[in-house]
Homo-oligomer: A and B are copies of this chain.
């Protein structure tokens, strides 16, 4: 079975709607519903008073309909009564403003009152439903990621720091508190980053984000262990939310969940949404060690910075199968039925305000059928296989978000996405590795790409060196290997951690003004960054072509042991990266998933299934398979060009306006 379904919030609707919900879920082939995520105020309407009858009925109805349940602990959003009873458990921001309820996620995770209340409701749920026949999964909390700077947080932060640093001398050294007279002489002097006169200490900020990640993780583990205690057979997870503001190191959390569950909302309305989908799928698969689950995405919208773009017909299917192809155990959505009110009443749903007689529900019905057909073939399929790895490191991201950096717009996520995009466009399948969390050999790969890996430990530096010595192909981008994990810069010339293996020494950074671009002597275009590079063993592959660096090395290459180490000292364009990584992959003997694909087509192999996504508007033919514009084809066999392969899944092709297919047979009355 593939998971297909999403967040289901029956508490928003009168009970008479629930039967229609189950009927429509069956019509759409929904296999699982996530229930209870925001139900705390309905389950415990006042402190100590519990109302479980309605939830009993919901679970029974779903079970009767053959629909499994991912049951949530509702601890992400304490009810209003909690605020009144425990004001000191409300979070406080860096300016000292204590927040109140009225949105969601309003609590301080370090507050004992919150932790106690959360464990109380979790225990009630666990003891009542741990053996419910519909139960397929525990969904702890929701999108961990809140932030607080209150005094309770301060105390917890100090405890964490004591454990990490041991003594104040070590902390003072790691944080370079000698700068600006910040030396601590007592643990009680240490605060979370709060409003202060000017730039904060970046090491303090970095450790605070690590602390927050660990503090939230402890709250998760507490609940997980309680749930496991009630029924060890039910997998436990929590849905990971991604974003620059989230202080959660998911690579570190991944080992504590039974399946990595990811919420993913692309933020670009064009082809970028497909590139983001591929990126998210590959990253999540890395966290999950091969398997994972798309827990949430929006059925029919793409949030850009300032508006909700509707997806074109077929795009829901294309995105959903994109996640599945890259290893997801299914495709789930936020949410089942669009609410009539509340802060997200216009967030997309499988059953929109217009009801089931709508394009999105019709496409969902077709998708449900496709997933049902695919499920048996994917049950035993291994995830996509890759000989290329890209490094990902949450702490490096955090470190590059601060002030006092050489440029105010350093973009860790952008740099990683850019190299992934370059590989994606060449149909080169990539994995992600997490050197900030687990220092292991990179020997499973032929190519290792290292973008903006700002923080690097000595063991990681040694492992990278060994990878190249043993025959690997390494590509290091600028702003990598600059600092120790505590944030202190490695001295003697950049990039300290990789200077030897790369055979270069950088003596000056030259950030470039926004909008300014330039060329290298090999014709590559670049922007954002330049460096004064001295070679010390490396050969120069491309040079800066003008300005004060004219003639200086820009891209270098060094044979080191049995391998090759490349350094890219500048912000190559997308085309520049695609060309460079194409050369590296070829040298390393790495083949594309499908060679010679048209630009708009994405190919992903999962086991013996080849997924072909046509993100363009016109039909394209890959081998013997015609893929309609906006459509997907799944073929079995080793190669798309093999004449023995045949079409397997045929997701909903684009339907012209006015001739909808898969129209639900029963029109549904408007609930409410």
- What is the interface of chain A, defined by CB distance below 8 A to chain B? 9, 11-12, 38-42, 45-46, 74, 77-81, 83-84, 91, 93, 95-106, 146, 174-186, 188-191, 193-204, 269, 300, 304-310, 312-313, 338-347, 352-355, 357-360, 403-409, 486-494, 505-511, 513-514, 532, 548-552, 657-658, 670-672
Contact = CB atoms under 8 A, between A and B. Distances in A.
A481 to B, nearest CB: 12
A514 B89 CA distance: 41
Contact of A309 (B11, B177, B307, B510): B510
Nearest to A656: B551
A80 B182 contact: yes
B201 A342 contact: yes
Given A103-B180, A341-B486, A355-B493, 17 more contacts: A42-B178, A80-B186, A80-B189, A84-B186, A97-B195, A100-B195, A102-B204, A103-B200, A105-B198, A179-B343, A202-B341, A307-B406, A310-B532, A343-B404, A352-B507, A353-B492, A358-B508
Given A38-B179, A407-B308, A197 B671 contact: no
Nearest to A315: B548
A449 to B, nearest CB: 25
Interface centre among A176, A343, A359, A658 (most CB of B within 10 A): A343
B199 A353 contact: no
A222 to B, nearest CB: 20
Given A103-B200, A196-B101, A358-B507, A84 B188 contact: yes
Contacts of A357: 493, 507
Contacts of A358: 493, 507-508
Given A178-B11, A358-B507, A79 B185 contact: yes
Copies in the complex: 3
A489 B79 CA distance: 24
Contacts of A300: 508
Nearest to A13: B178
A343 B81 CA distance: 42
B269 A513 contact: yes
B340 A197 contact: no
Main SS class of interface, A: loop
B102 A196 contact: yes
Contact of A672 (B95, B182, B491, B506): B491
B99 A197 contact: yes
A101 B354 contact: no
A35 to B, nearest CB: 13
Nearest to A179: B342
19 contacts: A12-B179, A41-B183, A91-B197, A102-B196, A103-B201, A174-B341, A176-B342, A177-B342, A202-B342, A305-B408, A308-B509, A338-B489, A340-B489, A341-B489, A344-B404, A352-B508, A354-B507, A488-B672, A552-B657
B342 A180 contact: yes
Given A406-B346, A532-B359, A196 B508 contact: no
Nearest to A312: B548
A315 B267 CA distance: 43
A345 B300 CA distance: 46
Contact of A99 (B40, B195, B310): B195
A657 B551 contact: yes
Contacts of A189: 80-81, 83-84, 101
Contacts of A309: 510-511, 513
A194 B100 contact: yes
A195 B196 CA distance: 18
A405 to B, nearest CB: 6
Contacts of A12: 176, 178-179
Contacts of A106: 196-197
A307 B359 contact: no
Given A306-B409, A340-B491, A346-B406, A507 B196 contact: no
B487 A341 contact: yes
A524 B339 CA distance: 35
A19 to B, nearest CB: 17
Nearest to A407: B307
B180 A104 contact: yes
Contacts of A99: 194-197
Contacts of A359: 507-508, 532
Contacts of A489: 338, 340-341, 345, 353
A45 B176 contact: no
Contacts of A404: 343-347
B345 A185 contact: no
A491 B670 contact: yes
A197 B103 contact: yes
Given A77-B181, A181-B74, A345-B202, A104 B312 contact: no
Contacts of A352: 507-508
- Residue with the highest number of chain B CB atoms closer than 10 Å, among A188, A341, A404: A341
A522 to B, nearest CB: 18
A136 to B, nearest CB: 23
Contacts of A506: 354
Nearest to A531: B310
B354 A548 contact: no
Find the residue from A78, A84, A104, A304 having the highest chain B CB count within 10 A.
Answer: A104
Contacts of A344: 179, 199, 404
B508 A190 contact: no
A46 B77 contact: no
Contacts of A505: 354
Contacts of A343: 179-180, 198-202, 403-404
Contacts of A409: 306-307
A194 B352 CA distance: 30
